Structure 1
Amino acid sequence: MNDLVLRSFSQTPLPLHRAKEFFLARQPILDRNQDLVAYELLFRTGADGPADVTDDVYATASVIAHASELGLENVVGTLPGFVNVDAAVLMSDFIQFLPRDKVVLEVLETVEATDEIVARIDQLSKAGYVFALDDVVAESGSVRRLLPMARIVKIDISGMSESALRALSARFIQSGKKLLAEKVENLGQFHQCLELGFAYFQGYYFAKPFVLTGKKLSPSQMTIVRLMAQITENADSADLERSIKQDAALALPLLRLANAPAAGAAQGVDSIGHALAVLDKRQLHRWLQILLYAEPGKAVHAASPLLTLASTRGRLLELIAAKIRQGDRHAADVAFTVGTMSLMDALFGMPMEKILEQVSVSKDVRDALLVRQGFYGDLLRLAESVEQFREPEPAIAPLLRKLSLSGEDFYALQLAAYKWSNRVTDGAN
């Protein structure tokens, strides 16, 4: 922990053990094409009780200290990160530890636009920092004073009438601002905000099943499911290579994955046979689970939010299982499968029960996916609680205690999962 950063915040330094007692989440921000373009980073203190509010300045201080040591790219990869700042953080010196080319500073709605605050934001803006106004629900006096220095306006659409949302969004668009819709929870809300001219969207609507009658798997998805079955049946590499070569759309992302740093190849992989030699069957099975979420035809730079979320969940659950049940490789593999499979209902547009009728899984996996029960169900609930914790989430600390996992260890595993997912996403697109 960088104690100098924490000391620059206050004359009374924050105890280092407190600085480590916080939860981290990254929530995806999508553009109009539903590609992943940024993350909002959320932090809370309170490992021994309900999480505190996200604008806790001590949590922000410890986050900046961690970022200065570990590098923000380990959390957000190549994408920018949105970070909440309140008046105390804005006026502090340690804000300069955040790289101006990697962050968007979200001015919380609780910040009063005093002359001092306006001057400070103007100074930081001229120094190259990008600002967003957070949780805007009306055009208040503070919003009007800060608006000229903000590039992005985040509007909380929950509970807002269509007429109010239309009027408010039109006003900010006329001012030349980019709009970000917060708390988008279903496709209807996404399409409404799309029609109103919003540029960015935040919420887990993309991870919720939208059942389409008669929807079928794409040819590549069918090939992947068939390959997974072949691996389960211990098919040899020649049979696997023949199956892959039948689908050219699958061969390219597989080669990218085999060449990704996370795959551990010592040299360039330039053929399907070579890829199969680099990835043993255990590795190949997990890569295939991830490839299900890759979107064929997407531009190389375009990241699928479902791919990123599924790979992060899978890796995080695997790392937690390996930490708790050391030496039990099977438990880690099952945990990875539960994490990646947990979003297949959204991917395929069908209820999880229907998917499990077609895919043979153990009772432990079934209980985890359908009712969030058992050891793997607890791991999944923990991952989901952290992803969703913009609202106070009382389940996180009790789950950590139940799993005998410290907050500090959990934070380290999160960072490792984010870093791995960033590499996988770069390799899959």
Structure 2
Amino acid sequence: MDIFVARQPVFTSDKKIFGYELLFRLSLDNVFPNIDGSAATSGVLSNTFFSFGLNDILSGKPGLINFTRDLLLKQTPLLFPKDHIIIEVLEDIEPEPEIIDALKTFKSQGFRVALDDFIYDQRFNEMIQLCDMIKFDIMATPLDTLGPVLTFLKNELNHITLLCEKVETHEEFEQAKAMGFQLFQGYFFAKPEVMSRKGLSANQITNLKLLNEISKQEPTLDILIDMIKNDMAISFKLLAFINSAYFRRPTAVNTIKDAIIFLGLQELKKFINVVVVSDINPDKPNELIRFSVIKARMCEQCAHVIRTRFTPDELFTVGLFSTMDAILDMPMEDILEKIALSQKIKDALLGKDRIFRQLNDLITNFEQGQWSHTRFQTDKDSQLIQKLPAFYMDALKMADAFLASA
């Protein structure tokens, strides 16, 4: 059975990860699996998620999952661990008595409930009383129109957490935060905050020098080993990474030399790339770095399926650096002047390589759960599209292993 799953990050006001909204399909032919009315089908839905492993997808954070009217009435959420999920009530579900009874049951069992894409109407008052979170889609209900509703909710129902979704710019993020929203969903974090020609700090310059060293056509292993040994932070992160669950080693690696030998030069280059990128701007949310590592790993794996002018290692680098403008809040052109990358990698990062543009677009849409994208429909039977779910799950695990050590 083909299973497609994606997760969209939910941030706190200080850009830390609160949790993820989970999106899935059983194929590219349907938006949500058809439910045939039997209790057994709800079991299939549960098994679908557990076949991935909720912890692998959620990294220990809560997951927001959409439930249809039928699924709520069948009490499908009770098949999930209450600490791992938040029940999202879809916007087209009416507050009929059966739904209210179902929500009361979930609340009595300790589940959290969110109202999705909420538009206020008095008839929802009883449902509002039972929820813990309300999500506002600011493309459907712009921030400038929400003042009276937010004032009512904050004054009368201060137990409710307000989540602003479809936040695409930092201006929207700051406005929503000022209006009282506590959680935020959208891809504002993946774009530069201010496209200005500001200077780099001393630490950023040092990191870029390290990137230059490992970006050489034939880097000297001894030099890299000395640099790592002389940097306690990188040494610690390397040992933490090599001993993480991602490698499933039966015995621990205890020395820097053994860790480097185990990884090899190419994997060591990837590791240092990720460590440097993750450290280069500590003010940025970790999810932006995670997003970069996921894209890098997926690009690398796709190179084994499609033909490009890049090696898998080169595509890893391109994918990882593709968000560097957002990480440093600088134009990509200015950043590339400071890094000794090959011209073809620079061309890809500047959007001049058609194949990488298409691949980057495909991976970004998959990661965001935008499966209505034309490529998914026209090429849904291709080897690349069919392998993307497995590539994505592997990339999630790699990203979690990298960032746990970082």
TM-score norm. by structure 1 comes to 0.81
Match of 1:423 among 391, 401, 406: 401
Pair 1:196 & 2:179 matched: yes
**Structure 1 residue 378: Cα displacement:** 2.6
Distance verdict in 2 for CA 1:244–1:39, change over 3 Å: same
Tell me if structure 2 keeps the 8 A contact 1:382–1:399: no
**Structure 1 residue 309: Cα displacement:** 0.5
Q: In the aligned structure 2, how far is the partner of 1:141 from the partner of 1:107?
A: 17
Q: In the aligned structure 1, how far is the partner of 2:285 from the partner of 2:243?
A: 18
Match of 2:98 among 96, 99, 116: 116
Distance verdict in 2 for CA 1:264–1:223, change over 3 Å: farther
Deviates more, 1:192-201 or 1:116-125: 192-201
Superposed, 1:218-297 pairs within 5 Å as 218-233=201-216, 234-244=218-228, 247-262=231-246, 267-269=251-253, 272-295=256-279
Aligned to 2:388: 410
Gaps of 5+ in 1: 2-19
Q: In the aligned structure 1, how far is the partner of 2:316 from the partner of 2:186?
A: 24
Q: In the aligned structure 1, how far is the partner of 2:349 from the partner of 2:219?
A: 27
Q: In the aligned structure 2, how far is the partner of 1:262 from the partner of 1:342?
A: 24
Q: In the aligned structure 2, how far is the partner of 1:362 from the partner of 1:198?
A: 44
TM-score norm. by structure 2 comes to 0.85
Counterpart residue identity of residue 377, structure 1: R
Superposed, 1:22-61 pairs within 5 Å as 23-44=4-25, 47=28, 53=31
> What RMSD over aligned residues (CA atoms) do the two structures have, in Å?
3.3
Superposed, 1:389-408 pairs within 5 Å as 389=369, 392-398=372-378, 400=380, 404-407=383-386
Secondary structure, counterpart of 1:243 in structure 2: helix
Distance verdict in 2 for CA 1:372–1:256, change over 3 Å: farther
Counterpart residue identity of residue 419, structure 1: K
**Structure 1 residue 27: Cα displacement:** 0.7
Distance verdict in 2 for CA 1:168–1:56, change over 3 Å: farther
**Structure 1 residue 97: Cα displacement:** 3.0
**Structure 1 residue 348: Cα displacement:** 1.5
Superposed, 1:22-421 pairs within 5 Å as 23-44=4-25, 47=28, 53=31, 64-92=46-74, 94-136=76-118, 138-158=119-139, 160-174=141-155, 175=157, 176-211=159-194, 213-233=196-216, 234-244=218-228, 247-262=231-246, 267-269=251-253, 272-295=256-279, 304-324=286-306, 331-362=311-342, 364-371=344-351, 373-389=353-369, 392-398=372-378, 400=380, 404-407=383-386, 409-421=387-399
Identity fraction in percent: 29
Aligned to 1:11: none
Distance verdict in 2 for CA 1:153–1:77, change over 3 Å: same
Q: In the aligned structure 2, how far is the partner of 1:298 from the partner of 1:369?
A: 22
Gaps of 5+ in 2: none
**Structure 1 residue 184: Cα displacement:** 0.7
Tell me if structure 2 keeps the 8 A contact 1:293–1:307: yes
Tell me if structure 1 keeps the 8 A contact 2:133–2:160: yes
Distance verdict in 2 for CA 1:128–1:119, change over 3 Å: same
**Structure 1 residue 248: Cα displacement:** 4.8
Q: In the aligned structure 2, how far is the partner of 1:281 from the partner of 1:194?
A: 45
Deviation by residue 1:370-417 (Cα, 9 ceiling, x = unmatched): 33744333321111112344595334333556x64343x322222222
Counterpart residue identity of residue 415, structure 1: M
Deviation by residue 1:329-385 (Cα, 9 ceiling, x = unmatched): 973222222221111111111222333333344565345433374433332111111
**Structure 1 residue 287: Cα displacement:** 1.3
Q: In the aligned structure 2, how far is the partner of 1:179 from the partner of 1:124?
A: 20
Tell me if structure 1 keeps the 8 A contact 2:7–2:368: no
**Structure 1 residue 100: Cα displacement:** 1.8
Q: In the aligned structure 2, how far is the partner of 1:271 from the partner of 1:79?
A: 32
Tell me if structure 2 keeps the 8 A contact 1:76–1:418: no
Q: In the aligned structure 2, how far is the partner of 1:132 from the partner of 1:364?
A: 47
Deviation by residue 1:179-227 (Cα, 9 ceiling, x = unmatched): 1110111111111111222211100111002235353444444333322
Deviates more, 1:77-86 or 1:254-263: 254-263
Deviates more, 1:357-366 or 1:95-104: 357-366
User: What number of residue pairs does the alignment pair up?
Assistant: 399
**Structure 1 residue 270: Cα displacement:** 5.1
